[in-house]
Amino acid sequence: MKFPTIDKKDSEEKEEEKKENVVDFAAILTGKEEVPEVDTLDTALATFQSNINTNKDDDDEQNDIKYSVKVTDTDKIKEVHIHTGKSRKKGDVVAELYKSEIPSREVIGSLTTGKIRPKDLKGSLQGKNTKELVRKIEKGEAYVDLMTEDKPKGKVRGKIKKLVPS
């Protein structure tokens, strides 16, 4: 009887694929989190995946942060940003996740996906590494804000939180 051979490379690739699908941080956006609070049933979910080790000073590692923004039954979306700042206060825009001059039609599901690279950082993080953004997220100092045509200062907002692996 022959047993199938397990190719170590296949096993390592599968393990790497699993890591690529892991979400490190997430924000649930609601009107209650907005400043001032917005009365809306609209919600959104922003997820972030990073391979950045903030305790390591290795600049050769890949420093991109992958993101995805999904919304529930929302229209007229113009912008989605990451801000840094304290809870219940308006903060500094540090990364743009979505921007459109023409407001979106009704969106149910995926609005945008992409990567944040060091060159994409703005405001207080401009010219810095994405590790700085991850540090802010880990300290609870970052949130996602979604702006619409009728709510240009923000319709739904949510703090980005580190997810605990299961």
Q: Which pLDDT score, from 0 to 100, does residue 62 have?
A: 63
Q: Where are the beta strands (DSSP E) in the chain?
A: 25-29, 43-50, 65-74, 77-84, 92-99, 107-116, 142-148, 156-159, 161-162
- Would residue 17 count as lying in a domain? no
Does 57 or 107 have the greater pLDDT score? 107
Residue 31 included in any domain: yes
**Dist CA 108 CA 105 (whole Å):** 10
pLDDT at residue number 17? 46
- Name the pTM for this structure: 0.82
H/E run at residue 145 = strand 142-148
Domain carrying residue 126: 24-162
Does residue 92 have a pLDDT over 80? yes
- pLDDT of 86 reads 82
pLDDT at 56: 60
Total tally of structural domains belonging to the chain:
1
Instruction: Flag whether pLDDT at 54 surpasses 70.
Output: no
86 against 155, higher pLDDT: 155
In a domain, 10, yes or no: no
9 inside domain: no
Looking up tokens 């993101």 gives: 67
Q: What pLDDT is stored for residue 155 in this prediction? A: 97
Is residue 149 domain-resident?
A: yes
Place of tokens 């690279």: 117
Specify the range with the lowest mean pLDDT, choosing from 20-24, 56-60, 123-127: 56-60
Compute the average pLDDT of residues 63-83.
95
> Could you identify the residue written with the tokens 């229209």?
75
d(CA 105, CA 83): 25
